[in-house]
Amino acid sequence: PFVLGIETSCDETAVAIVSADKHILAHSVLSQIEDHSEYGGVVPEIAARQHISSLDHLIKAVLADASMQISDIDAIAATTGPGLVGGLMVGVMTAKAIASATKKPFIAVNHLEGHALTARLVDNIAFPFLLLLVSGGHCQLLAVYGVGQYTRLGTTIDDAVGEAYDKTAKLLGLGYPGGPAVEQAALQGDAKRFQLPKPLLDKPGCDFSFSGLKTAVRRTAEACVDKEGLLTLQDRADLCAAFQETVAVCLANRLGHAIEKFRKKAGPGTLPFVVAGGVAANKVLRARLQAVAEEAGLTFHAPPLALCTDNGAMIAWAGLERLVASPDINDIDMAPRARWPLDNDAKPLVGKGK
Ligand code: ATP
Ligand code: MG
Ligand code: FE
């Protein structure tokens, strides 16, 4: 089967077609970063309008790119939550309209499940696997037992990791999105020059906390600035390196705890560990997590960089996984959900959504 996937939950309009034999036949991502940059963050109203004006063209272009007609597609999937409700409505209404007109099923995809299952599009990863989901809005450790079957082991008690990157970048004048900018700046930095606090590190469990870190970055930056209030490039690079090192140590520590918990639940044998979400594009963090996972005897998996941040293929693929798991699926009655946690996903796998 072939599934067309639509992503409009935030500031990317993205469309892709994937097949059950794991091919991305075509995909396209339109970023709205420039439309929002003068406001210093994503403006929901502007995002929704941009999705409206781009989506139809993008779907046509992706179909043309795959040399396919809509009649060749078996199901239409769209991100139905969590996210900005205006954008979600655009994607969901478009997908439902195409589904109704062509008499194909509509599949409601949880954006987080899109991130969670992407690694299975590129690697052969069997359930159960341990997942670290690190993105702009989330930082969670989950045991994944199957499509729609998630148990949460830990989560952030305040900021998400991507959010911490973005706030740190903003504070240091590095622009948006902050993740790639901080990673780049850190390459020239000395991670040992500044010691930043590592919250929860000496505590048991798998929860995270990052809000104190951004405050510490701000205080350290304030202590370094010259009379004009400016940081040298070296100060900035050292701060980025210290920030990233702190994040790496915290993620690695919590992953260690989660592996112990997961082993008890999932039993012996080789278990996979997957890191996903926009922050999983970070090479330093990937390497550190890989070391922890492999040291503990787990296999390490991360999507290719372009499939870490928001894209259409992850939504099409999660839709495909849902279609394969329950061939008579149709979520046409399901409405967009601004909040939609992955772990207490009450949506039954088979049948008409809720
Ligand atoms: P969510 O998936 O939680 O709803 P989102 O969809 O907005 O949030 P993603 O697209 O998954 O988030 O990820 C974007 C986030 O990833 C941003 O916060 C961005 O700074 C961060 N990010 C992207 N590339 C990197 C990188 N190389 N290093 C660190 N962070 C990164
Ligand atoms: Mg985005
Ligand atoms: Fe995302």
Q: Say which ligand is closest to the CA of 83.
A: 1
- Cβ(114) – ligand 1 distance below 6 Å: no
What CA–CA distance (Å, rounded) separates 105 from 95? Answer: 10
3-state secondary structure 164-211: HHHHHHHHCCCCCCHHHHHHHHHCCCCCCCCCCCCCCCCCCCCCECCH
The pLDDT of residue 20 is above 70: yes
What is the average pLDDT score of the chain? 95
Say which DSSP state 62 is in: H
Phi then psi for residue 155, to 5 deg, are -155, 170
Q: Tell me: the pLDDT tens digits for 317-329?
A: 999 999 999 999 9
Residue 133 counted as an annotated binding residue:
yes
Residue 54 counted as an annotated binding residue:
no
- Please state the atom number of ligand 1 nearest to the C-alpha of residue 166: 20
Do residues 128 and 122 make contact, with C-beta atoms less than 8 angstroms apart?
no
Indicate the pTM of the whole model.
0.95
The pLDDT of residue 234 is above 50: yes
The neighbouring-strand residues paired with 5 are 16, 77
Residue 222 counted as an annotated binding residue:
no
Which residues have C-beta within 8 Å of that of residue 73, sequence separation ≥ 6? Answer: 2, 3, 4, 17, 102, 104
| % of the chain beyond a pLDDT of 70 | 97
- Please state the atom number of ligand 1 nearest to the C-alpha of residue 310: 10
pLDDT band at 350 (very low <50, low <70, confident <90, very high): very low
CA of 352 to the centre of ligand 1 (A): 32
Q: Say which ligand is closest to the CA of 12.
A: 2
Query: Helix 111-122 to helix 312-325 angle, to the nearest 10 degrees?
Result: 90
- Cβ(137) – ligand 1 distance below 6 Å: yes
CA quadruple 13, 84, 342, 77: dihedral, nearest 10:
-40
Name the pairing type of β-strands 24-31 and 12-19: antiparallel
Tokens of 205: 């469990």
Instruction: Give exposure, 97-133, as e/b (b: 16+ Cβ within 10 Å).
Output: ebbeeeebbbbbbbbbbbbbbbbbbbeebeebbbbbb
Which residues have C-beta within 8 Å of that of residue 250, sequence separation ≥ 6? Answer: 198, 199, 200, 201, 208, 210
Residue 36 counted as an annotated binding residue:
no
Q: Tell me: the pLDDT tens digits for 144-174?
A: 999 999 999 999 999 999 999 999 999 999 9
CA 228 to chain centre: 38
CA of 135 to the centre of ligand 1 (A): 4
CA of 103 to the centre of ligand 1 (A): 35
Tokens of 99: 């589904």
Residue 135 counted as an annotated binding residue:
yes
Name the pairing type of β-strands 2-7 and 139-146: unpaired
CA of 81 to the centre of ligand 2 (A): 14
Residue 225 counted as an annotated binding residue:
no
Amino acid at site 59: I
CA of 12 to the centre of ligand 3 (A): 9
- Cβ(183) – ligand 1 distance below 6 Å: yes
The pLDDT of residue 38 is above 90: no
Do residues 83 and 89 make contact, with C-beta atoms less than 8 angstroms apart?
no
Q: What's the ipTM?
A: 0.99
Question: DSSP labels for 72-130?
Answer: G-SEEEEEEESS-HHHHHHHHHHHHHHHHHHT--EEEEEHHHHHHHHHHHHS--PSSEE
Q: Tell me: the pLDDT tens digits for 117-148?
A: 999 999 999 999 999 999 999 999 999 999 99
- Cβ(303) – ligand 1 distance below 6 Å: no
- Cβ(8) – ligand 1 distance below 6 Å: no
CA of 12 to the centre of ligand 2 (A): 5
- Cβ(281) – ligand 1 distance below 6 Å: yes
Amino acid at site 57: H
Instruction: Give exposure, 17-35, as e/b (b: 16+ Cβ within 10 Å).
Output: bbbeeeebbbbbbbebeee
Q: Distance between terminal CA atoms of the chain? A: 24
Q: Write down the pLDDT at residue 344.
A: 66
Say which DSSP state 307 is in: G
The pLDDT of residue 346 is above 80: no
Burial grade of 146 (CB within 10 A; 0-12, 13-18, 19 or more): exposed
CA distances from 106 to 48, 78, 147, 351 (A): 21, 8, 17, 12
